[in-house]
Amino acid sequence: MQDLTGRRPVVTDTHPSLLDRTMEAAARATPEPLATTVRGLSDRMVAWIFIAPTILLLLAINIFPLIWTIRLSFTNYRANRPNEAVKDIGLSNYARILTDSDTWMAMQTTAHFVLWTIVLQTLIGFTLAYLIDRKFRGHAVWTTIILVPMMLSPAVVGNFWRFLYEPQIGLFAYIVSFFTGIPPTEILMLSNVTLAPWAIVIVDTWMWTPYVMLICLAGLRSIPDYIYEAAEVDRASNWRQFWSITLPMALPFIMLAVLFRGIENFKMFDMVNLLTGGGPGSTTEVASITLKREAFEKWRTGFSSAFAIILFVAVFGLANIYVKVLNRVKSR
């Protein structure tokens, strides 16, 4: 049916939907004082009501343990003696940590791992990203294959490489023996004082280089093509394009990858614990291994809490300084 103007009248549904009926029922069931209070809330207050549960959960999971750890760091508390009187000893735990030669040795070992893993992962990861960015035939398949180590569990990787490092049956020893002529039984990667640290560096580099490659690849893919086209018009060589365009524009992404891997490697625990357990001796005893032994073997909970706070402040401070440098590089 058409009206006098020749247009079909708009037919509206006069029957309320299920949602409308539910809302009306809820409104009628709401007590009048509560309904008046809700209508008087601002948008900001409503937003805080929805955000509050998440904030409370965050405080319970992260902030409260941190505050409790700070509190324990000033005491002589031992978790295996819950009924013993807890005494406040001030800064004694911090003073003992900062003057303990074993603690500084663990920090030096940690710095060694962080330095060499970051150097190797950055160099290899950026090289792989640069090659894959060329988009050669089959680059997608190779990208998937390269990413496989990153997808594995650290427990799987640790046990897998522990088997490879076995001098009797491990494939790694036979490969090294093939190129060097050294008998496989003499290649003790996990029990040799000199080789054990490098064995962990190799495993961590193998596992996390794909992560660095992905970040670097994202940086390379973000460079506009017209910049390279303009450089070709100016007859810039490939080497010149790399140093003047590719590396400077990908540098913020490289620095971001270094930041992420630096923080993670500073907390390295699972790989060291699976491969060497901190040995032989204390050669591979990084800070996290020392912290575990103080907390769960010697049961010096107050001492280990102070050590954890020192590690937290060190990582947090260095990360803040690095982020400021990164922001300056990005703003140039």
Rounded to the nearest 10 degrees, the angle between the axes of helix 101-132 and helix 195-221 is 40
pLDDT at 129: 94
pLDDT at 33: 63
- List pLDDT tens digits, range 63-118: 888 999 999 999 999 988 888 888 999 999 999 999 999 899 999 999 999 999 99
Among candidate residues 276, 274, 275, 278, the one with its CA nearest the CA of residue 291: 278
pLDDT at 151: 92
Task: Sort 199 into a burial class: Cβ within 10 Å, 0-12 / 13-18 / 19+.
Answer: buried
Pick the more confident residue, 166 or 15.
166
Residue that has been written with the tokens 């054990």 in this structure: 196
pLDDT at 234: 87
pLDDT at 185: 85
Q: Is the pLDDT of residue 34 over 60?
A: no
- List pLDDT tens digits, range 234-257: 888 889 999 999 999 999 999 999
pLDDT at 168: 84
Q: How confident is the model at residue 27 (pLDDT cuts 50, 70, 90)?
A: low
pLDDT at 127: 95
CA dihedral 227, 229, 234, 239 (to 10 degrees): 80
pLDDT at 49: 81
Mean pLDDT for all residues in the chain: 87
What is the arithmetic mean of pLDDT over 195-214? 95
Among candidate residues 261, 281, 264, 272, the one with its CA nearest the CA of residue 155: 272
pLDDT at 55: 87
Q: Is the pLDDT of residue 329 over 90?
A: no
Q: Is the pLDDT of residue 8 over 60?
A: no
- List pLDDT tens digits, range 262-293: 999 998 899 999 999 898 988 999 999 999 99
Q: How confident is the model at residue 138 (pLDDT cuts 50, 70, 90)?
A: confident
Contact 301, 72 (CB under 8 A): yes
pLDDT at 124: 96
- Domains by residue range for the chain, with CATH: 18-72 (no CATH), 97-331 (1.10.3720.10)
State how far the alpha carbon of 170 is from the alpha carbons of 45, 163, 185, 260, in Å: 63, 6, 10, 32
How far apart (Å, rounded) are the C-alpha atoms in residues 101 and 108?
Answer: 10
pLDDT at 328: 87
